[in-house]
Amino acid sequence: MPAVSFDKVSRHFGSVRAVDGVDLDIGEGEFFAMLGPSGSGKTTCLRLIAGFERPTAGDIRLFGDSVRDLPPYRRQVNTVFQDYALFPHLNVRDNVGYGLMIAGRPRAERDREVAAALEMVRLGGYGQRKPSELSGGQRQRVALARALVNRPRVLLLDEPLGALDLKLREQMQEELKSLQRQLGITFVFVTHDQGEALSMADRIAVFNEGRIQQVGTPEDVYFRPDVPFVADFVGSSNVLPAALVETLTGRRQPAAIRPERLRLGSGSGGALSAQVTGLSFLGLTTRVTLKAGDTRLTALLPQDAPRPAEGDTVSLEWAPSDLHLMRGSA
């Protein structure tokens, strides 16, 4: 039985279709990411699961039971917000134990549960500190402990790493993934960061304009996009228009090829001839931008590979299996 099910769910705000007929099953114990640009509907879907929004149409089920008309406090879910939403006047211990206090749990029991939750997020000994005395990563751990201390069956995370710097964000990605494996509960993680989704999730739903464009494993979404939007949004793949693909393969449909799969040769003789329009040093790789007729392409070259000069004409080659045909008319 799925932990979360969407059955033709829509949420409209006047004429705006924030969520438009979404069908989705999220498995129990799964780390599931909702990925998409701003305004794509992913956060609205999270709020629908939490009960902060009600669907205009369709039904949402948690572990088989409809929660369409159930208030947030009666759902077996908790939410970690992007801004953490900690009470500034309470110390860490009382922030984490607030939900237990509201539920009427005895003080001794609350203290035991809070201590265990703080140890779980590596903040044992920080109980007396105020949020203002913590770093961004520590505040994020407090928010996690507060959400987990009530033992939800589904944990909802609304871009919780967005306020952290790059190094700390990468560290917290590993910690979140490890924590989810340790607890075995369902995590539903909303993000617009493709790297976060690819590195953490068991499966990803890619959203655009209120609809799901594709659901799959990180490998499926990255290497085998269903439609041009997914190819372009997840990892910025090269999207070849249907007319060009027809000249290369005889099949008139768009195709995607990842920048790291392109090989550059000198002159002509490859599958496609292109002109180098720019080079950017990225550390381990060099990004080469190219133009083949009206189609703009990008290749990623390892640092030990020969580098062309801007203005050079090169041939582009790839393995047949690296050219992925998609649906659509691009």
Q: What is the pLDDT of residues 165-196, one digit of tens each?
A: 778 788 888 888 988 998 999 999 999 999 89
In a domain, 255, yes or no: yes
The answer as to whether 199 is a domain residue is: yes
Q: Is there a contact between 321 and 226 (Cβ–Cβ < 8 Å)? A: no
Q: Which of these three, 228, 263, 289, is where a domain ends?
A: 228
The pLDDT assigned to 270 comes to: 62
In-domain check, residue 146: yes
pLDDT score of 236: 80
Q: Is residue 212 domain-shared with residue 315, that is, in the same domain? A: no
94 and 181 in a single domain? The answer is: yes
**Beta strand segments in 166-271, E:** 186-191, 203-208, 211-216, 238-240, 255-257, 263-266
Domain that holds residue 290: 236-325
Which pLDDT value is given to residue 265?
A: 83
The confidence score (pLDDT) of residue 244 equals 92
121 and 49 co-located in one domain: yes
Neighbours of 129 (CB within 10 A): 15
Q: Are both 132 and 245 inside the same structural domain?
A: no
Same-domain check for residues 164 and 300:
no
Position 235, amino acid:
G
Query: Domain of 303: which CATH number?
Result: 2.40.50.140
Are 292 and 189 part of one and the same domain?
no
Among residues 166, 199, 228, the one where a domain terminates is 228
- Residues of the chain where predicted confidence (pLDDT) is lower than 70: 163, 267-270, 329-330
Mean per-residue pLDDT of the chain: 91
Same domain, 145 and 196: yes
pLDDT for the residue 268:
56
**Residue 243 backbone phi and psi in degrees, to 5:** -65, -40
Task: Give dist(CA 162, CA 139) in Å, integer.
Answer: 13
Note whether 185 and 244 are same-domain residues. no
Q: Within this chain, do residues 131 and 265 fall inside the same structural domain, yes or no?
A: no
Please tell me whether residues 11 and 135 are part of one structural domain.
yes
Residue 121 pLDDT: 87
pTM of structure:
0.89
Write down which residue in 228, 260, 283 finishes a domain. 228
Q: What is the predicted pLDDT for the residue at 269?
A: 56
pLDDT of residue 1: 87
Shared-domain flag, residues 109 and 247: no
**What string of DSSP letters covers 95-114?**
HHTHHHHHTT--HHHHHHHH
Question: What is the structure's pLDDT at 329?
Answer: 58
Residue 189 lies in a domain: yes
What's the CATH number where 213 sits?
Answer: 3.40.50.300
Total domains in the chain come to: 2
| Residue 157 domain-assigned (yes or no) | yes
Residue 43 lies in a domain: yes
| 330 within a domain of the structure (yes/no) | no
As beta bridge partners, residue 255 has: 240, 325
Sheet holding 16-26, edge to edge: 16-26, 4-13, 57-62, 65-66
Q: What is the CA radius of gyration of the chain?
A: 24
Question: Residue 53 domain-assigned?
Answer: yes
Residues 273 and 153 in one domain: no
Q: Which of 32, 35, 34 is nearest to 194 (CA)?
A: 35
Question: Between the CA of residue 155 and those of 11, 216, 259, 311, what are the distances in Å?
Answer: 21, 20, 35, 52
Give the closest residue to 112 by CA, choosing from 126, 100, 130: 100
